[in-house]
Amino acid sequence: MEENKNESKQETKTILIVEDDDTIRKILVIECKRKGFEVLEFRDSASAMTAIKRKKPVLSAAVVDLMNMGYGGNIGQYLRGFDIYKKTKVIYYTALTERQFNTDILNMPETYYVHKEPGSIKKVIEILEQS
């Protein structure tokens, strides 16, 4: 009986989504919620950074558009500046090819690149579901 209680209290993962394309953001939010994730969504990095600094939410992962900059840097690097986010997965979901940005950001642990193309949201969800 006690074992079943622990299974039902499984921790819900919270995902940060920062995407300026309304359609893509809405699809990501719908798919994440369908998989049981809680979602914090923002249209721009500046708003997301302000909320993170103020509230310090527990985040399992962040899905961010690399071109959605704010405060002179990207939100993935901003998250890494806080100890509580050092192990948070950061998925750069972008239309840029790897040749178009400084790929050194991908050398950080738990950092992923997914190129925006038809069907690529499925790849984002697969990464989010990995423990």
What is the separation, in whole angstroms, between the first and last Cα of the chain? 26
Work out the average pLDDT over 114-126: 95
Q: Given the structure tokens 């721009």, which residue do they identify?
A: 44
- Percent of the chain with pLDDT strictly greater than 70: 87
- pLDDT 10s digits, 79-104: 988 999 999 999 999 888 888 887 88
| pTM summary value | 0.86
Q: What is the pLDDT of residue 57?
A: 95
Strands (E) in the chain, as ranges, are 14-18, 38-42, 61-64, 89-94, 111-115
Work out the average pLDDT over 120-128: 97
Architecture of domain 11-129: 3-Layer(aba) Sandwich (3.40)
Domain ranges in the chain? 11-129
- pLDDT 10s digits, 62-81: 999 877 665 545 788 889 88
Q: Given the structure tokens 């050194």, which residue do they identify?
A: 104
Rounded to an integer, what distance in angstroms lies between the CA atom of residue 27 and that of residue 122?
Answer: 11
User: Pseudo-torsion of CA 103, 93, 125, 127, nearest 10°?
Assistant: 10
Rounded to an integer, what distance in angstroms lies between the CA atom of residue 101 and that of residue 84?
Answer: 26
